[in-house]
Structure 1
């Protein structure tokens, strides 16, 4: 695969196919070595865009992706992950609040075994959290170099326009 496309207007080039890893871990393929082989095969075939989320198998998917990218493969991958879903019993262990975003990006970075996330996405809208709160936290993480770009996964187009304003 040699054809790549722009990721929005970022200038970053991504393969037209992304490898989604929702089914790696307890929710699907529990064999970490097999999942790593699948990721390596995708990368060797020209896919350079890998997508996961903190909530996929309670973080296990991110751990598997981190294993697959260890040993020098990380630099050539556009790595995307998401936050929002419930990861514990505490009422503050989910959502789009600054508190949760700052905590969860650190957990994702640790599980993924990397210093930065290329595309950090809000998985779902949360009407009870001010959009400026979420965007402010994400902007701070961009300035800190922990994430490079921000995005959404399941937002209505009108919410994206509101965020741009």
Structure 2
């Protein structure tokens, strides 16, 4: 008599998931959780998202990595994994600077509200300078890395 081994129900996952699919899964996760738990519960130490906790929304666990900013909740693909690191670092520095001085740390005469890294560094609020500009939005003084945020 020949016995066939039953295959375990392995969830099938699309070979790739899109950034909008991850964003939707994170939103759904947050909606399904009780009040004190938010999407930052998905973050690992390296700012990557624990996708195994989203498998019920994605149909499995994708092999890709996605990253999230703890300060802005913005989600990024692996190619932009440094953006959330610098967003969180600079957002904290900006918040502390505003709290201490009551002023915004902006580059003077800049076309957009660009964060003045040198000012924050010389005042000891910022320990590391991002390799790209960040901008302060009017929405709760949150940072963005996208200048197109200000286009009308």
TM-score of the two chains, using structure 1 as the length reference: 0.31
Larger RCO, structures 1/2 (Cα 8 Å, 6+ apart): 1
In terms of fraction of residues, the more strand-rich structure is 1
The structure having more radius of gyration, on CA atoms, is: 2
TM-score of the two chains, using structure 2 as the length reference: 0.33
